[in-house]
Chain A
């Protein structure tokens, strides 16, 4: 199967996380021919497994000045270029009676140095603007935190890359790196969809595999010293808070509560894990306990709020080359030119960093790629809006729109998710506007749009694009409907039953650590529907 052998790309990017998609966008915008390969789906790794916090940088202000300054800069850029992925909620850093209030002034000074606007507010006023906050707080500082949807952000970057000519391949896993002497010239891939091996060639191969980049580097014969750190989070059933809540102290466990879309998230824990465990992301009972116990200190209402799921992600921390023990691990951006470092040309690794700095990482990587390919083009990713984020031409007409219509929910939800691209979704047809996912307001039209336009292979991909199955029922009502639609519009209907079972299994995995109360009722009901009515068996998975 060497039909693509003749085609050589300028750049092949490995990894469909925010960094990979961002790099693909940047390279494509600078006129390079780009191929992006991803073994599963966009934002399936660490990109989609975090808080979704649009950091102001305040969290790092005291401990890591450089990261803080990067964050606030990128924060302001994302508000501009990705407004449909961002919620400008603002955040509070609260001091509780058990915390040292003197940290507050140190914190505010550090923020100022990093360029982060802060405002010390009276605890009374804090309770006013954020009624869910722990009423015992003794101090509060307002910062420009926000929320960002990592799935949408990554997809928007991928879409823009595609608009600029990039080729995107999901379900393509790198199984080998093609080398000619000391030069990397291509990648060997396994196409999971059709179970075939393919090879593609490129002038520069970019390793943007996050934590899995460790393995990809090994395939190329070089080594990176990665230290996987697992972080667990809990998703609550609805938005308890409207502002991001942080503790005003040195970063610790479970001290950020982020409202995002219809839910809110508490996290995280931090635990070193062996590299061979990075694909085994379970959340322990201990993690759940810590998250609830600490979360309640931020907002007491959490104690009585339904928990939807628990999940964990792996931070791709990289040890500095001169520190193999990993003691002084940075959260900063790591860009490795393997030609300089290992004498292996045509191969670079971009890793470390954070979701917040994905664009900057992409810019630095692309700058290096351009230098190597002698392309003289400036980066424009900080100025040009992502697709969906363009300023609406008629903002007034949207604001005064009449909302006396049954389709209100699906149309508004689609607008929130896809920004200006939502105009491609609804055509006002009653059938098309009817809901697939009732919790999150996903319509038939939106599912069809995602399947046709947004690289959807299975139900789990569809969930990342549209929030199908992310609501309180966790797929109970929507999974079967979505499976039916997916089936209709693809030739792979034979796999539909397995896909459905897989999807429900994936939902169940996140619910398992928190099965009590209303959640367990819901799960029982779901199993009645799928096992009882539809006859789905556990061995379908």
Chain B
């Protein structure tokens, strides 16, 4: 307690001083466009930081309206880490304690473990309208939201039972950070990845116990727990990358973004040793193909018209090009580009009742584009974008890896390297 009293509140990274007040970030902020209560990235970020260094009472709870989409950072011509400044301010100054609701939404792995155990009961119950209305009233989780279904068998369980033993047959190996969504809700995505990687000649292994990347803990203010999990994950990554020389790939853009950038910037957890070898699956595959180390053969009869949605964290990573280039390699794909816009969900943000309107307002231009583009389905690398688009449009959403797995001619691909 005593130590906390002397916590230096007025020390800051000077990065915000690079701001020349050009206000471009404010133009690119998706929240500001629909919610005038939010002061915008410039005011909440560099301008606000300066005022908060003068007096921490300048901290404004309206900073919670930030989606942490980081589109302001992408837009900034001077490299100001605007999103980080806002997130750090929330961490440092917010006096509001996370609510029960926030704990439930943030603890994706604990809740996931319980829910998937009782999936046949939980799924129909949380989908019921009266239950959703009750969650709306009691927990302030908006009743429009439908929780993603929990899988009966967790991905990890499936892997151990059916896949683990076959992975040692390969010469090359990677580790897979599946994340909570694949584990508890959508094991198919993980299975699809294993299908592709095995076809490409790679054995896929799980980390020595992965923990949730913690992105939801960070955005809900549960920093201590997030830091603990970050330290755990960095150690687990090290065992794979440093000790076994196995890169770690993931199918979730948000998990990998959190591990690569938010760990050092927001949690102060160093990740220098693992950062370069922590990859998104599509990027890993593209680079293998691009450097001539891998060739994929696709089915001749696969025909689909798809549109790619760029999740905010893919925009920040600058990596959507890898996913789209990979998709465009499939001969039967008629590819439609969508304007890069935030879908509005931002992880747990859109689940909260108070954010529902903002969330849907932010996403509307994207939904309109999707509806008018005459496609079979939408492709995207982010699971929460998937929920949002599926809830808000008539289209289904698939992960690029699942599309690739569907279109891949496994036998022909394997033949290429087995010769």
Contacts and interface: CB of A to CB of B under 8 A. Distances in A.
Interface of A: 128-129, 131-132, 237-239, 241-242, 261-262, 301, 304-306, 403-406, 408-409, 412-413, 416, 435, 438-439, 441, 471-473, 476-477, 518, 521-522, 525
B14 A476 contact: no
Contacts of B18: 518
Contacts of A522: 20-21
A131 B61 contact: no
Nearest to A128: B6
Interface in B253-289: none
Contact of B17 (A132, A416, A472, A525): A472
A237 B60 contact: no
B6 A305 contact: no
B124 interface: no
A75 to B, nearest CB: 21
Interface residues of B, number: 35
14 contacts: A132-B11, A239-B53, A241-B10, A242-B10, A301-B14, A403-B57, A405-B62, A409-B60, A439-B21, A472-B21, A472-B50, A476-B20, A477-B23, A518-B20
Nearest to B37: A406
B54 A131 contact: no
Chain A contact residues: helix, strand, loop or mixed: loop
Contacts of B16: 238
Interface in B33-55: 36-39, 42-43, 47-51, 53-55
A473 B50 contact: no
Given A128-B6, A404-B37, A518-B78, 16 more contacts: A128-B8, A131-B8, A132-B11, A238-B50, A238-B53, A239-B50, A301-B14, A306-B17, A403-B60, A403-B61, A406-B38, A406-B62, A408-B60, A472-B21, A477-B23, A521-B78
A471 B19 CA distance: 12
B21 A477 contact: yes
B22 interface: yes
CB-CB nearest 3 A-B residue pairs: A131-B8, A306-B17, A473-B21
Nearest to A399: B57
Given A131-B11, A518-B20, A408 B6 contact: no
A409 B39 contact: yes
A261 B53 CA distance: 10
Given A131-B11, A239-B53, A472 B19 contact: yes
Contacts of B14: 301, 304-306
A409 B21 contact: no
B147 interface: no
A238 B37 CA distance: 26
B417 interface: no
B168 to A, nearest CB: 52
A237 B17 contact: yes
Contact of A412 (B19, B57, B62): B57
Residue among B37, B49, B50 with the highest chain A CB neighbour number at 10 A: B50
Contacts of B59: 403
Contact of A439 (B47, B60, B61, B62): B47
Nearest to B21: A473
A398 B23 CA distance: 32
Contacts of B57: 403, 412
Residue of A237, A406, A522 with most partner-chain B CB within 10 A? A406
B58 A412 contact: yes
B17 A305 contact: yes
B20 A404 contact: no
B50 A438 contact: no
A44 B15 CA distance: 33
Nearest to B60: A408
Most buried by A among B6, B11, B14: B14
A190 to B, nearest CB: 39
Contact of B43 (A128, A261, A409): A409
B17 A238 contact: yes
A395 B50 CA distance: 25
B62 A438 contact: no
Nearest to A242: B10
A467 to B, nearest CB: 11
Contacts of A439: 21, 47, 50
Contacts of A132: 10-11
A521 B20 contact: yes
B60 A416 contact: no
Contacts of A476: 20-21
Contacts of B78: 518, 521
Nearest to B36: A406
A408 B62 contact: yes
A229 to B, nearest CB: 31
A128 B11 CA distance: 11
A203 B203 CA distance: 100
A439 to B, nearest CB: 6
A237 B109 CA distance: 44
Contacts of B51: 262, 409, 413, 441
B61 to A, nearest CB: 5
Contact of B10 (A239, A304, A435): A239
Nearest to B39: A406
A472 B51 CA distance: 11
B38 to A, nearest CB: 8
B201 to A, nearest CB: 49
Contact of B54 (A262, A405, A406, A518): A262
A124 to B, nearest CB: 11
Nearest to B11: A131
A473 B62 contact: no
A151 B47 CA distance: 23
A481 to B, nearest CB: 13
Interface string B1-16: 0000010101110101
A522 B77 CA distance: 12
Contacts of A438: 21, 42-43, 47
Nearest to A402: B61
Contacts of B54: 238-239, 261-262
Contacts of B42: 438
Nearest to A125: B6
Contacts of A472: 17, 19, 21, 50
Nearest to B95: A403
Nearest to B6: A128
A132 B14 CA distance: 13
A238 B11 CA distance: 11
Nearest to B35: A406
A466 to B, nearest CB: 15
A416 B62 contact: no
Given A404-B62, A518-B17, A522-B20, A416 B8 contact: no
Contacts of B21: 438-439, 472-473, 476-477, 522, 525
B397 to A, nearest CB: 34
A409 B48 contact: yes
A305 B61 CA distance: 28
B262 to A, nearest CB: 24
B142 to A, nearest CB: 19
B22 A525 contact: yes
